[in-house]
Amino acid sequence: MVVGFLATLMSLTVHEFAHAWMADRLGDDTPRRHGRMTLNPLVIIAAHPVGALVAPLLGAANGFLFGWAATPVNPARVRRGINMRTADVLISAAGPASNVLLAVAAGGLFYLLQSVEADWTAPLRLLTACLVVSNVLLAIFNMLPVPPLDGYHVLSAKAPESWRPVLNTIEQYSFLLFLLVFFKAGSLIMPVLMHIIPNIILYTWAVGPV
């Protein structure tokens, strides 16, 4: 339970910091003014106590990784010379991209620890395995083109004007679409994970359901 909670919290913290870092680099000082330019997980918990504390704890207690958070950004505040749509794409994509990088780093550490035969490595192996799963899940889920996920911001910013009627319809039913995706995401994404990281998925199942 502790390991699952830590993996979720670490993944959320890195994801939201990446949004804040990219916005700040582009000239949007909104995250900095809200004190979000930090990797301190307590800041995320204070801002989203349900999504970053209660939900991850309940999820970990029931054998799955679950949580959410958000970072205040305003692409309209980026410095001159940067297109607002481009800024929206870069800021939105930074979160999932950071999760991919963290998953790769955790995966490398997981396989390194697999070669070390010592009892003290067991909790670290489980933590790195959970980090891989949680970060791949976050990256894939957040890139789905449904509001308010990052993938929809990328789609909306890059779509031609002729797509506007379709996007308006998606936005009109965004809440229902999000609920559908939320409750079906596990069954849709898990087969993908079994193809991408089968050994790590099987390891987490052997130690405890994730």
Tally Cβ neighbours within 10 Å of residue 123. Answer: 13
Return d(Cα 121, Cα 129) in angstroms, integer. Answer: 12
Return d(Cα 21, Cα 63) in angstroms, integer. Answer: 32
Q: Where exactly are the structural domains of the chain?
A: 2-207
Q: Look at residues 121, 137, 199 and name the one whose alpha carbon lies nearest to residue 11.
A: 137
Contacts for 21 with CB less than 8 Å, ≥ 6 apart: 31, 37, 94
Return d(Cα 178, Cα 41) in angstroms, integer. Answer: 26
Element housing 34 (H / E): none
pLDDT at 165 over 60: yes
**Mean pLDDT of the chain, nearest integer:** 89
* Confidence at residue 23, expressed as pLDDT on a 0 to 100 scale: 97
pTM of the model: 0.88
* Confidence at residue 94, expressed as pLDDT on a 0 to 100 scale: 97
Query: Mind spelling out the 3-state secondary structure of 68-97?
Result: CCCCCCCHHHCCCCCCHHHHHHHHHHHHHH
Q: Please write the tens of the pLDDT for every residue from 96-106.
A: 999 999 999 99
Q: Look at residues 114, 141, 116, 137 and name the one whose alpha carbon lies nearest to residue 199.
A: 114
Considering the chain, what percentage of its residues have pLDDT values greater than 90?
63
Confidence label for 210 from pLDDT (cuts 50, 70 and 90): very low
Q: Look at residues 86, 89, 85, 70 and name the one whose alpha carbon lies nearest to residue 20.
A: 70
Return d(Cα 52, Cα 8) in angstroms, integer. Answer: 8
122-126, 153-157, 178-182: range with lowest mean pLDDT: 178-182
Return d(Cα 177, Cα 56) in angstroms, integer. Answer: 23
Average pLDDT on 110-136 reads 88
Average pLDDT on 34-52 reads 96
Return d(Cα 7, Cα 84) in angstroms, integer. Answer: 33
Q: Among the options 16, 117, 161, 171, which is catalytic? A: 16
* Confidence at residue 205, expressed as pLDDT on a 0 to 100 scale: 64
Considering the chain, what percentage of its residues have pLDDT values greater than 70?
97
* 16 in catalytic set: yes
pLDDT at 50 over 70: yes
Long-range pairs for 100-108: beta carbons < 8 A, 24 or more residues apart: 100/135, 100/136, 100/139, 102/10, 102/11, 102/14, 102/131, 102/135, 103/131, 103/132, 103/135, 103/136, 103/139, 106/131, 106/132, 106/135, 107/132, 107/197, 107/200
Q: Please write the tens of the pLDDT for every residue from 73-91.
A: 999 999 988 999 999 999 9
Please tell me which of 17-21, 188-192, 199-203 the model is most confident about, judged by mean pLDDT.
17-21
